[in-house]
Structure 1
């Protein structure tokens, strides 16, 4: 264990994870832009927030 995580680091990890999961992409089947998670825009899907550091982008395995 490395102890506590600074709030700024946690907030950045959450923002990057949600941005990765919820960006608009083109759907050739629906012939319009949809959310990457599969929902119609605007996406209101609720995803779990990454708590463990293994889910954080940019973290290398030790």
Structure 2
């Protein structure tokens, strides 16, 4: 941190901070996209999209990387 601003070391660009509400929204949308019931033709029943049986008890990793966050057009 130079001068109190966060800098992305890989790109050498300033990093924008996000509000808590934006973060929670990004997490909720990502979990809803990854873990939802889908029909499995192999198992002939509904399973979670991640491949686990329902109810899915997979350990949900919280997406911190901005690459996982929804774009403005997805909301």
Higher-Rg member (1/2): 2
Q: Who is 1:7 aligned against?
A: 20
Give the RMSD, CA atoms, in angstroms. Answer: 1.5
Secondary structure at 2:33's aligned position in 1?
A: helix
Query: Hey, what's the Cα distance between the residues in 2 that align with 1:41 and 1:52?
Result: 27
Q: Which has the higher helix share?
A: 1
Alignment: residue pair count: 59
What residue in structure 1 maps to residue 55 of structure 2?
42
Structure with the bigger RCO (C-alpha within 8 Å, sep 6+) is: 1
TM-score normalised to structure 1 length: 0.86
Offset of residue 47 of structure 1: 2.5
Deviations 1:2-57 (A, max 9, x none): 1x310000000000000000010001111100000000000010121111212101
**1:25 alignment counterpart:** 38
